[in-house]
Amino acid sequence: MSTAVSEITHELPLDHLAGPSGGMPRPDFSIVPVRGLPIVGAVLALLVVAIAGNWLWALDLFHVAGGGLWTGIDLFVGLIVGPIIGRLSIPARVEFSTRFMPKMLLLMPTLVTVTLASGFQLALHLGNLRSSYPNHGWIIASFIVVGAMAVIAIGILEPANIAVLFELKKPHPDGELIARLMRRFIYTAGITGLMQIATLVIMSKLAVG
Amino acid sequence: MSATAVRRLPPVAEVAVATMVLVIVGGIYLASSLPKQAALGPAVGLLAASGVLLAWNVITLRRLRPFAWATFFLVARWSLVGYIVIAGMLEYVFVRDHVRGSLLAVLTLMLTVYAVNIPLLLGFSVARYQSPAGD
């Protein structure tokens, strides 16, 4: 893992993007993919309905599907896609980022919200939150892991993601800045990916009691 | 503006992350005791500390001149919309679970700090790399 990260975070030769000669072709893109907003709205509406109706099966579906996607995407991006991006040519890397990062901007907060809200409701209904629950300590451990991941994802990863998108929108993007922010993005994606392994262990333990 | 030429700015992002840590620790402390109510003292202390840090950040930001305010508000405004939805969902879950009284008040204030703090962090994180002249 550390090898993979170090391979992709060595100095990226993006400097030529800066300055007047940095007019390399970049696809036009929208920072927030507006067409995805109705889908996000529909998913959140379904979640509200599931919570209001106390539909345990739907809450379970939201938690398992949302959590599985969240964990899988974090691991996949941090450990598989990240190193691949690091080996792409600069134009390919920029083109990939302009298409990939806006989608992540909608997808990840939605998955996180759906997973946490449904998981909390599920734990409450199943009595897992009670201090008398035999695995209460594991529940608290999951809160702590999720809290740490939230700080890293929202406090470091997300700002870097948005700042890169704004930089790429400029007529003359600053290559050095993009390299620095992408490095931060890939490092934090790797760290949250590793923390997701802890989540998998905790959830597997909770599932069998 | 080149990344190397970025001027030194006050630690707004770092303070915003510290604010978030305090709110999340308070939230975990309270949520780990639900449906019973935990002693509110520690949570109120964490909330007060996070409120102080958020206020410090707002005051510090207001003093920043020059700054890419148009970009800051563009990002912060849309982030605020998103985080109001997320905070609203969590508030709905708490109300739905019959959380009432002082516990609900503390949780609501924590969500408020959270929903204001993160757009501020995102707005600052983007605007710091933008040229104020571009506003």
Residue A68: helix, strand or coil by DSSP?
helix
Residue to mutate among B7, B12, B15, B17, with most A CBs inside 10 A, is: B17
Beta carbons of A162 and B36 less than 8 Å apart: no
Looking at residue A134, the DSSP 8-state letter turns out to be T
The pLDDT score that the predictor gives to residue A18 is 42
Give the nearest partner residue to B93 out of A51, A144, A167, using CB atoms: A51
Write the pLDDT tens digit of every residue in A81-98. 878 887 887 778 778 888
Beta carbons of B35 and A176 less than 8 Å apart: no
Burial of A122 (0-12, 13-18, 19+ CB in 10 A): middle
CA gap A196, B118 in Å, rounded: 22
CB atoms within 10 A of CB B130: 22
Residue A131: helix, strand or coil by DSSP?
coil
Domain that holds residue B125: 9-134
The pLDDT score that the predictor gives to residue A21 is 39
The whole-chain average pLDDT of chain B stands at 87
Give the nearest partner residue to A18 out of B2, B36, B71, using CB atoms: B2
Beta carbons of B21 and A52 less than 8 Å apart: no
Write the pLDDT tens digit of every residue in B24-36. 999 888 887 776 7
Q: Of A146, A82, A32, give the one whose Cα is nearest residue B126.
A: A32
pLDDT over 50 (residue B79) = yes
Residue B4 resides in a domain:
no
CA gap B115, B102 in Å, rounded: 20
- Cα atoms found within 13 Å of the Cα of residue A17, Cβ hemisphere only: 25
Specify the range with the lowest mean pLDDT, choosing from A118-127, A136-145, A172-181, B39-48. Answer: A172-181
Residue B1 resides in a domain:
no
From residue B84, give the alpha-carbon distance in Å to each of B88, B89, B111, B115: 6, 8, 9, 6
Q: What is the ipTM of this complex?
A: 0.83
Closest CA–CA distance from residue A173 to any residue of chain B (Å): 9
Kindly list the residues from chain A whose CB atom is less than 8 angstroms away from the CB atom of residue B5: none
Write the pLDDT tens digit of every residue in A137-196. 898 899 899 889 888 888 888 898 888 888 888 888 887 888 788 778 778 877 888 888
Residue B2 resides in a domain:
no
Residue B35 resides in a domain:
yes
Write the pLDDT tens digit of every residue in A9-62. 333 444 444 444 345 556 677 777 888 889 999 999 999 899 888 899 999 999
Residue to mutate among A143, A145, A152, A165, with most B CBs inside 10 A, is: A143
Specify the range with the lowest mean pLDDT, choosing from A30-34, A105-109, A164-168, B16-20. Answer: A30-34
Tell me if B107 sits within 8 A of B94, measured CB to CB.
yes
Q: Does B3 touch chain A (CB under 8 A)?
A: yes
Cβ-based contacts under 8 A for chains A and B: 90
CA gap B34, B49 in Å, rounded: 23
The pLDDT score that the predictor gives to residue A60 is 93
| Secondary structure of chain B as H, E, C letters | CCHHHCCCCCCHHHHHHHHHHHHHHHHHHHHCCCCCCCCHHHHHHHHHHHHHHHHHHHHHHHCCCCCCHHHHHHHHHHHHHHHHHHHHHHHHHHHHCCCCHHHHHHHHHHHHHHHHHHHHHHHHHHHCCCCHHHC
Tell me if A4 sits within 8 A of A197, measured CB to CB.
no
Residue B19 resides in a domain:
yes
CB atoms within 10 A of CB B27: 22
The pLDDT score that the predictor gives to residue A182 is 79
Q: Does B17 touch chain A (CB under 8 A)?
A: yes
Residue to mutate among A166, A176, A182, A185, with most B CBs inside 10 A, is: A166
Structural domains in chain B (count) = 1
Q: Of B113, B41, B116, give the one whose Cα is nearest residue B82.
A: B116
The residue of chain A with its CA nearest to that of B21 is A151
Beta carbons of B24 and A18 less than 8 Å apart: no
Closest CA–CA distance from residue A176 to any residue of chain B (Å): 6
* Total residues found in chain A within this entry: 209
Task: Output b/e per residue, A184-207; b: 16+ Cβ within 10 A.
Answer: bbbbbbbbbbebbebbeebbeebe
